Chains A and B, each alone.
Chain A
């Protein structure tokens, strides 16, 4: 896409080339690569903590009846699993990738506001410490679902609700500051010649994601604030007796919640749009249409929130409006899937691990998208609402969508970050184990959902027993498969064959013209982009 005419090392003459030693490096850092690493390691840790909770859920659901945990604890597990995976695993992983990659991709010296960048990260471990500590409070942690619907979170919740509210507040502060940093970096720190339509798609998708974050995280802050005052200070935003409405909660929450869904998938589109051209050895098909499709998905995301609430008794006009707007999103998404497939068409394909995960993303994300279309049909949704079909749908888009793209990105850029090639055989094992187990895990959920099994309940009717046992086996296998990934990461960070600057034969873009690993400060003076 672009080439550098100056050697970046030549200009790195302003003092420290090497990071300071010890723990201070990580606590005090202003370096986008260090902060990116911190974000990624934090996300991986939270992925395993949230994953352990999923294992508890699947263990309880292995058989009908109540055997392992109390129902209240089961509710806390589903709640905190969701919160951790959304706010602690997927979002920080994408922010970590943004930190590592955006400055290198646009030829910037660092992020625009490096100290604030550090603050954005270090808030997160504290926010999740509060959330996790609340599980050990008297009365237990939050058990009202990650969507914390009123009145579950206002009238029927425990004392830990206040901790939940304030931890969400500071997570929001972190996300907003991170997003402001990304936007300002992209607007203001592009190297000369890095025009808008030359930007790699990962940068484009993150720019739009950052806009979504700044627009909706404050709305989430407002929502939790109203929950707080309703629960503790006698307001009645979500209480009909005081003139409010519990459905109001859902409107405000999903006005945040639906753009949030795209916050978790747009950067994934950027990643896949980087990987597929490399291993197809062809430029991305339809670059401009990808940019426009991403923008239209983002705009539409503000007009579809009530498709989460079809069964709340909205007027028919609203049901139709939100149904049609939702279906409209299939158009730009279809453009994207078409473009990825067209990029591979007649390409000189090879199937290294990042490409395998990217292809799996395209197929499985599309399955998740199509079940989303089914859910978008209002009358059909009356049947699917709150069943395992919904669980199957959003796990296809979030696990085989967002998480697979993050894993693909990790394999793709790992040689660049560490300077070592990862173990390809182990990676292929990781891929195939993940691919098979994830489908054993989530695909049967479609069936039990269509047959009427409700979500978020620790017990179920006997006819769902066989499928649930199968689902649980898939779940344990998927969880264990991820240990292969950790083993591979440790091996790769410790050593391995040296990676070249370009790493992949077909890779293009500024980051591949830096050494592997790149110097601590990449572009102190900007490269000229042709």
Chain B
């Protein structure tokens, strides 16, 4: 599906030549290959198992969509759990708690740390920065088992707070705010503050912090997204407590209770979780990300200024 290069022979020309047409066709076909599954998936969330089995859903399931299906599927998802269900909402709430808590910690830690790395001189600065970069490019899954052992040593497995604390460690956020202060806060400003007799801490709070809205928004956004989608860490730390699961591992439990994959377990359930229900649960679980994305969009689009200033 991938072509090494576009065909065009002439560049900069707005004429419709074969090369340009080929490029646009190739790119559009690939775009369709990316987009159609997602459209079909969202349509699936609006669909019903009966229609799908009967083949009545039409192209990509678009013909089988209805609001009634959503209501039915919502009742199935929220009915999951002992008693009257409600686990799904609990899991969403837990995810909000750890993702927001983790993002808040990440902010508290990352913004001042980025400032210190960017504008202060101290021993081990480079070493610590290097370790931060390494931690940033290292996939965090490799540390999960050691983290589990650590949390287990303090008897906190199954609780939400250790998950939020671990998520608060967000070296990418430090790097982001490091770049931010590097590019937006001239040294002269720091020097001037020093001459005025401001302490380093006050300089940060009075001068650095007010100009870091951009960095704060970016760190908060990226950290929230990373926390929300994290799977292995909650899996290792929260599996033993059904009430304390996050939505990412909760959806895994829903998959495990689906008649599609575990017919006999599902036969013992009041709720029936077929693909439309799983798709709806997934789509709902993405809504907070969407909200964050819309909220942070202004800053994301302006993010280029961080890089551009120093050019």
Do A and B truly interact?
A: no
Q: Please list the residues of chain B having a beta carbon within 8 angstroms of any beta carbon in chain A.
A: none
